[in-house]
Structure 1
Amino acid sequence: MTDTDALIRAQGLSVRFAKKQALTDLSLSIPKGRVVGLLGHNGAGKTTLMKALVGLQRHEGSLSVLGLNPSTQRTELLKSLCYIPDVAVLPRWAKVGQLITLMAGLHPGFSPERAKDLLRRTSVGLDDVVGKLSKGMVVQAHLALVAAIDAKVMILDEPTLGLDVLSRKSFYEMLIDEWCDGERTVIISTHQVEEVESLLSDVLMLNEGQVVLNISLDQLDQRFVALSHDAAAADAVAAAHPLLRYRQHGQSAALFDGAPPDAVVALGQRVRPSLVDLFVALTRAPELNRRA
């Protein structure tokens, strides 16, 4: 990711909790108009980073979101940033229409008309009581309320956790169709890597509080090479020290950071590496990947 038109900049960002170093010397830049997948195992530092971005986590180093310091200018920042944590919390007693009225009085950038338009894409009605909605419907209502804010950055922490596949698909379709416009940026933290890969423009991967990959999907295809090969070539391919050896469609495959030697390339067929394969390769052996 380049620094051009960056909405988010961090330099030397670190967070420590008692004996645990949650984030270590993170430096990154996220431009406008991107859909960024924030990936990492539990405890990798994803939620800590997101809380720092929205001013909920004290930190060392410099951090700028929309040109503002999240810690000292949080009120101003939240006029142009929206955040959905991993649990969609809405008052169970309220009707959805009442929440729209409440939001209109709380946030100057909220559009009641847009919220109603977004809800028409769902099965949620204005007279529905939150406590009687399914979990998937609550998440859809929450997204409609948040997406109706005229914001420049949206941060989502496991937004579809616990939802069935159809509800997850509906959520992401509404997000991409109705909110992403080439100017706004969304950061999605999720473990459902396969489901979001096609939506992403960039990936930011954390492991043990450090960045192991920060790259656009276009650059990813240029940098990483995966080869599908016959079992007879396994020893020769292994000798070239791939990041990962795995099975793909019933055949042996190997993943390389950069182009392997021509002699090795000749032993197999190049295939596109998936984000899941990269995730396994880069987070199980972080000592190999400090140059991301």
Structure 2
Amino acid sequence: MSTDLLVQASGLSVRYGAKTALDDLNFTIPKGRVVGLLGHNGAGKTTLMKALVGLKRAEGTLTVLGMDPVRDRVALLQSACYIPDVAILPRWARVSELITLMAALHPRFSAERARALLRRTSVNPSDKVKNLSKGMVVQAHLALVASIDARLMILDEPTLGLDVLSRKSFYEMLIDEWCDGERSVLISTHQVEEIESLLSDVIMLNEGKVVLDISLEAMDRRFVALSHDAGAAEQMAAAHPLLRYRLQGSGARTHAALFDGEPPADLQALGQRVRPSLVDLFVALTRRPEMDRTQF
């Protein structure tokens, strides 16, 4: 495995009895990337993250930091961090005591860094966990885990329970203090609009399958949206775009059509190129058959 690839998956599948949660996934995560893992509830995101840290046995080939996540789990967790969607800390402890405990348990944990990160939150080291709000518990948990000198951080809805300012502060900390061009982050979240500007890549799951694995730079080159007025709607629809949707604003071109690749030249003459958002693409590639989003 190349040292530039922190994660490499080939033919990765996970089954719960008769149900297939992950179906023949193939993807890589290079170093120095911030990867968004997107999908509807039940798409397989949490199962994939658990497989990456050895909490779920998978079929196929999976290496994380050059290791087998199940066989080498103890060694792997020296250099990989996983934050699940529920932050749980012992209610009896003070935050300062948790810092001391982490320093004793994890050889790559920095107490100094944890205190520095906590200064960017509303949590004081002297606070008892039982007196913290849900959002403050999340902040403390994130600060503790982010103080481990890891090469890969896996975050499952990391800012669940935080208000918008706290979420912004966390992502700023993550990018400014943790991402250094060598480490990579995999973030699963439903707050796509908030993190799109942070991402370098996206892996999109739909019903256990990868429907998109691409850098945002390549995404901008590949997918094209055309804004158009209502009079061009039928011609746009006849070209079978991935998605037709309304644009915000009160101008004449209030509709848009999203295409995978260059639209036909005659259609380009009827519209104006606009950048499709990651949310637009997510809707286009993960829509359920029973939902018709082509109607205005």
How would you bin the TM-score normalised by the shorter chain? over 0.9
Aligned to 2:175: 176
1:261 aligns with 2:264: yes
1:61-140 equivalences in 2 (<5 Å): 61-140=60-139
Deviation at 1:285, TM superposition (A): 5.5
Measure the CA separation in 2 of the matches of 1:254 and 1:4: 41
Deviation at 1:195, TM superposition (A): 0.7
SS in structure 2 of the partner of residue 58 of structure 1: coil
Q: One-letter code of the match for 1:282?
A: L
1:66-95, CA deviations, whole angstroms, 9 ceiling, x for partnerless residues? Answer: 000001000000000001000011111110
Aligned to 2:287: 284
1:1-292 equivalences in 2 (<5 Å): 5-250=4-249, 251-284=254-287
TM-score of the superposed pair, with normalisation by structure 1: 0.95
Measure the CA separation in 2 of the matches of 1:255 and 1:141: 41
Gaps of 5+ in 2: 290-296
1:28-72, CA deviations, whole angstroms, 9 ceiling, x for partnerless residues? Answer: 011000000000000000000000000000110000000000010
Measure the CA separation in 2 of the matches of 1:258 and 1:143: 40
SS in structure 2 of the partner of residue 174 of structure 1: helix
Question: What root-mean-square deviation, in Å, do the aligned CA atoms of Structure 1 and Structure 2 show?
Answer: 1.2
Deviation at 1:227, TM superposition (A): 0.6
Deviation at 1:162, TM superposition (A): 2.7
Query: Does the CA-based 8 Å contact 2:120-2:169 persist in structure 1?
Result: no
Distance 1:65 1:125, change over 3 A: same
Distance 1:76 1:150, change over 3 A: same
Measure the CA separation in 2 of the matches of 1:132 and 1:167: 18
Q: One-letter code of the match for 2:281?
A: L
Q: One-letter code of the match for 2:285?
A: L
Measure the CA separation in 2 of the matches of 1:95 and 1:285: 46
Aligned to 1:289: none
- More displaced stretch, 22-31 vs 247-256: 247-256
Measure the CA separation in 2 of the matches of 1:145 and 1:205: 29
Deviation at 1:4, TM superposition (A): 7.7
Measure the CA separation in 1 of the matches of 2:29 and 2:3: 9
SS in structure 2 of the partner of residue 82 of structure 1: strand
Deviation at 1:116, TM superposition (A): 0.9
Equivalenced residue count is 284
- More displaced stretch, 127-136 vs 59-68: 127-136
SS in structure 1 of the partner of residue 15 of structure 2: strand
1:72-123, CA deviations, whole angstroms, 9 ceiling, x for partnerless residues? Answer: 0000000000010000111111100000000011000001111111111112
Distance 1:4 1:265, change over 3 A: farther
Deviation at 1:134, TM superposition (A): 1.6
TM-score of the superposed pair, with normalisation by structure 2: 0.94
Deviation at 1:203, TM superposition (A): 0.4
Measure the CA separation in 1 of the matches of 2:215 and 2:285: 16
Measure the CA separation in 1 of the matches of 2:94 and 2:34: 32
Q: One-letter code of the match for 1:210?
A: K
1:178-212, CA deviations, whole angstroms, 9 ceiling, x for partnerless residues? Answer: 11111100000001111111110100000000000
Q: One-letter code of the match for 2:262?
A: A
Q: One-letter code of the match for 1:260?
A: P
The sequence identity of aligned pairs, in percent, is 76
SS in structure 2 of the partner of residue 264 of structure 1: helix
Measure the CA separation in 2 of the matches of 1:207 and 1:213: 9
Measure the CA separation in 2 of the matches of 1:4 and 1:269: 43
Gaps of 5+ in 1: 287-292
